[in-house]
Structure 1
Amino acid sequence: MSDAAPANDDALEGAALDDAVHRVERELGRLFARIRVGWREAAATVHPDLQPLGYQVLAAIVSGHANTAGALIERLQTDKSAVSRQVRQLTELGLVDSIRDPDDHRARRLVATDLAVERVTAARAVYEGRLGERLRRWSAADLDRVAGLLDELGR
């Protein structure tokens, strides 16, 4: 009978772990849904015709994290046609300029206009204000732990 107890404990521990994994998956799903809503709201702040992916493209350009179509594709993990459509729309809206790369005249660089920088900054301020308000309720130690766990999960 002594062998049955550890096996039973293992089964209970396994079930508890499965439940915890499902809860994390559910909460990540809720978080991602909130992030998508935030992107939609930010896109509308920048321009009423801008889609959430267009906002992500523009934010990557404004932040300097990506300034070529290839870099955007890599950063956003999306396909070339989607990025091309968004860049075309951003250009038509006066939010992005496409200029020749001074180092490689065959390549194009994407540069945010002053209007884009102003509007993305305003959209980010709203989002970061809401997020910051919630996160400031936690201790620095809790925030460090969450950041570390998210970093580990993302690897």
Structure 2
Amino acid sequence: MTASPDDPDSGAPAAAFSRVDDPDLDQAITRVEQELGRLFARIRISWRDAAMTVHPDLQPLGYQVLTSIATGKATSAGAIIERLQTDKSAVSRQVRQLEQLGLVESIRDPDDRRARVLVATELAQEKVALARSRYEARLGERLSRWSADDLDLFADLLADLGG
């Protein structure tokens, strides 16, 4: 089976694809790929910093698990695994640590008394709010230098890229 640009899951590096016959466009695409890599690295650093804000022993994945629970977007281990696209053992370790740190509790599901759901404690809600406000302040500071039109265009381009 040969890799093609139409098959992003083929495992072939993006740079291996001959995208266009225009070297300027090819160079611009390469630059976007590099900048996305830098952005993802900065996002990982932000998760690490946010985790440290919540608790010095918390790992970035633990922070992601906690925010999934705190926002109500994932309140069971299965939902967290699906949302974060990670394995069961990693989620189990993180949930156990969050419980030990007093940040998460497992309670009976009010809709199905046989099941259990994970809820963030009041302490967790406060710590997550602090971490989010710090992140939003840093991001807001950078983005406030852009015009509203540039921000709208950027948001549209990101949506199209993720689409």
Give TM-score scaled by structure 2 length: 0.84
Work out whether 1:47 is the aligned partner of 2:49. no
Output one character per residue of 1:37-61: Cα deviation in whole Å (capped at 9) or x when no partner: 1110110110010000000111111
Moved over 2 A (4+): none
What is the percent sequence identity of the aligned residues? 71
Which gives a bigger RCO, structure 1 or 2 (Cα 8 Å, sep 6+)?
1
Trace 1:1-150 onto structure 2 (pairs within 5 A): 11=21, 14-150=22-158
Q: Secondary structure at the match of 1:99?
A: strand
Structure 1 or 2: more helix by fraction:
1
Counterpart residue type for residue 104 of structure 1: D
Give TM-score scaled by structure 1 length: 0.88
Instruction: Say what the alpha-carbon RMSD is for the aligned residues.
Output: 1.2
Q: Secondary structure at the match of 2:56?
A: coil
2: CA distance, partners of 1:83 / 1:110: 12
Structure 1 unaligned regions, length at least 5: 1-9
Structure 2 unaligned regions, length at least 5: 1-19
The offset of 1:36, in angstroms, is 0.6
- Rg (Cα) greater in structure: 1
Question: How many residues are matched?
Answer: 144
